[in-house]
Amino acid sequence: MTEDVDAFRASALAFLTANAPLRTNLTDAARGVGDDAIGLLDGHADRTAEAASLQRGRDWRRHVFDCGFGWLGGPPALGGAGRSPQLDEEYRLLERAFDVPDQQPFATGTHLVAPAILANGSEDVQQRFLPGLYRGDLVACQLLSEPEAGSDLAGLHTRAMRDGGDWIVSGQKVWTSQAHLADVGQLLARTDQDAPKHRGLTMFLVDMRSPGVTVRPLRQMTGETHFNEVFLDDVRVPDANRVGPLGSGWSAVMATLMAERAAVGSGAANSAVDPVARLIELARHRGALDDARVRQRLATAHINAELRRFLGLRLEGAVAAGRPIGPEGPILKLLFAQQGRSCGDLAGDLLGPSLVADTGEWGTFAWARWVTGAPMLRIAGGTDEIQRNTLAERSLSLPKEPQQKEPSR
């Protein structure tokens, strides 16, 4: 990076200090202080509270963008600051120390959808969507996974049929994060029924309030409805909202998927609550720090967190240098899935019945949300099995597993 990072940090800190208070509960140094929530997904059981939270987030994001910190690495023609892309991460690191409104609803748009638009979209599409995604005017979701396709994303059945200057889309998507909040959806649909399955796909941007779009919540074990199923019944999408040439959807979505795996894998590192620090304080409170087995499990959790931190830095360096995301994404995701399970197991062993029976004691029952959310990590962004196959075949050049033939009838 050629820019003076120290000077940037000073200016960003001056902005943040003037506009937001410092967080008071970054760690658990003072047990029992503040909110004891610990979870893997941000969510609200109350949709009214969720809408209010989203509006506060929009207001803050618009202020940040208008003051020049919303898209530091973006082209000035699209509302960016035209500076080093690495400064965006520097700003996010600094902002986490301040008590600002929840920014998680905008992450799908800025981290996953916007890069695909920037790399593959026309100038018109970029002008119409990118400033809004980074300013918080638009919340995005991904309309990718389908009930029958499973982990074989290219086997999707949602169809887009040409109708003059529009496309008529019909199909069903599932496990769509925050579809109920989204203004725009990144859609992968089949536009050529005769082409090989990976080549007949095209990416579109869908107005989530279009006639024919139905969003139904999926309630998780945590009690929240972060995920949804989305039904598309003859939804009309302008061809002007197509991202890239016809049939280019698979190559466009692959970059998104690699970024998604990296984002899922580094998720806990981006939280104001450090689960490992919380576990250490829990073990101390329970008088278990002298147990060699507990200490070893805490050390393993700390090592996992440090590995993900260094891998994240390596990935950021690659992105800043213009290199595509490589094995870092799948490795990060596998490590985080492992961390989610192991932290939950240790919390359960330390808490016993207090994990599932709310006694009112700070920092106990709150772990139930982590435990019930952890299985999601093995699925979101591609299953663990898919990640291992990706690493084996693309990074280690191992032969593919033989395809099983369907039994003859």
Q: What is the CATH number of the domain that holds 84?
A: 1.10.540.10
Residue 311: both structure tokens together: 């891998």
pLDDT digits (tens, 9 = 90+) for 244-263: 999 999 988 876 776 665 56
Identity at 331, one-letter amino acid code: I
Cα–Cα distance measured from residue 255 to residue 325, given in angstroms and rounded to the nearest whole number = 8
Cα–Cα distance measured from residue 285 to residue 368, given in angstroms and rounded to the nearest whole number = 18
Cα–Cα distance measured from residue 189 to residue 242, given in angstroms and rounded to the nearest whole number = 11
Quick check: is 404 in a domain?
no
Cα–Cα distance measured from residue 362 to residue 37, given in angstroms and rounded to the nearest whole number = 9
Length of the chain measured in residues: 409
Quick check: is 17 in a domain?
no
Domain end position, chosen among 138, 160, 185: 138
Cα–Cα distance measured from residue 161 to residue 175, given in angstroms and rounded to the nearest whole number = 24
pLDDT digits (tens, 9 = 90+) for 110-148: 988 998 899 899 999 999 999 999 999 999 999 999 987
168 with 278, same domain? no
Which sequence positions are flagged as catalytic? 260
CATH number of the domain enclosing 318: 1.20.140.10
**How far, in whole angstroms, is CA 97 from its chain's centroid?**
20
Is it the case that residue 398 has pLDDT exceeding 70? Answer: yes
237 with 321, same domain? no
- Closest alpha carbon to 248 in 207, 194, 198: 198
- Closest alpha carbon to 136 in 160, 102, 159: 102
pLDDT of residue 271: 55
Cβ(163)–Cβ(207) under 8 Å? no
Quick check: is 403 in a domain?
no
Cβ(105)–Cβ(139) under 8 Å? yes
- Total structural domains in the chain? 3
- Closest alpha carbon to 367 in 267, 277, 278, 288: 278
276 with 319, same domain? yes
Is it the case that residue 16 has pLDDT exceeding 60? Answer: yes
Block residue for tokens 């099995």: 385
- pTM beyond 0.75: yes
pLDDT band at 269 (very low <50, low <70, confident <90, very high): very low
Write the CA distances from 344 to 177, 232, 277, 376, integer angstroms: 23, 37, 13, 13
Q: What is residue 110's DSSP assignment? A: I
pLDDT of residue 1: 47
146 with 124, same domain? no
Q: What is residue 68's three-state secondary structure?
A: coil
Residue 240: both structure tokens together: 């002007």
391 with 316, same domain? yes
Is it the case that residue 196 has pLDDT exceeding 80? Answer: yes
Quick check: is 11 in a domain?
no
pLDDT band at 409 (very low <50, low <70, confident <90, very high): very low
Is it the case that residue 184 has pLDDT exceeding 80? Answer: yes
Domain end position, chosen among 110, 138, 166: 138
Residue 332: both structure tokens together: 């990060």
340 with 283, same domain? yes
Quick check: is 32 in a domain?
no
385 with 305, same domain? yes
373 with 290, same domain? yes
Is it the case that residue 32 has pLDDT exceeding 90? Answer: no
* Average of per-residue pLDDT values in the chain: 87
With a CB cutoff of 8 Å and minimum separation 6, the contacts of 134 are 65, 70, 71, 74, 79, 80, 109, 110, 114
Cα–Cα distance measured from residue 382 to residue 378, given in angstroms and rounded to the nearest whole number = 8
Sign of the Cα torsion 33, 38, 42, 44 reads negative
Quick check: is 31 in a domain?
no
pLDDT of residue 349: 97
Block residue for tokens 């039904």: 231
pLDDT band at 313 (very low <50, low <70, confident <90, very high): confident
Domain end position, chosen among 95, 110, 138: 138
Quick check: is 359 in a domain?
yes
CATH number of the domain enclosing 212: 2.40.110.10
272 with 387, same domain? yes
276 with 384, same domain? yes
Cα–Cα distance measured from residue 314 to residue 78, given in angstroms and rounded to the nearest whole number = 28
Cα–Cα distance measured from residue 323 to residue 331, given in angstroms and rounded to the nearest whole number = 17
Cβ(188)–Cβ(153) under 8 Å? yes
Which of 59-68, 363-372, 397-406 has the weakest average pLDDT? 397-406
pLDDT digits (tens, 9 = 90+) for 208-240: 999 999 999 998 887 778 889 999 999 999 999
Cβ(214)–Cβ(144) under 8 Å? no
Structural domain boundaries, residue 161: 141-247
Transcribe 265-291 into DSSP letters: HTTGGGSSS-HHHHHHHHHHHTT-TT-
Q: What is residue 405's three-state secondary structure?
A: coil
Quick check: is 29 in a domain?
no
194 with 289, same domain? no
pLDDT band at 283 (very low <50, low <70, confident <90, very high): very high
379 with 276, same domain? yes
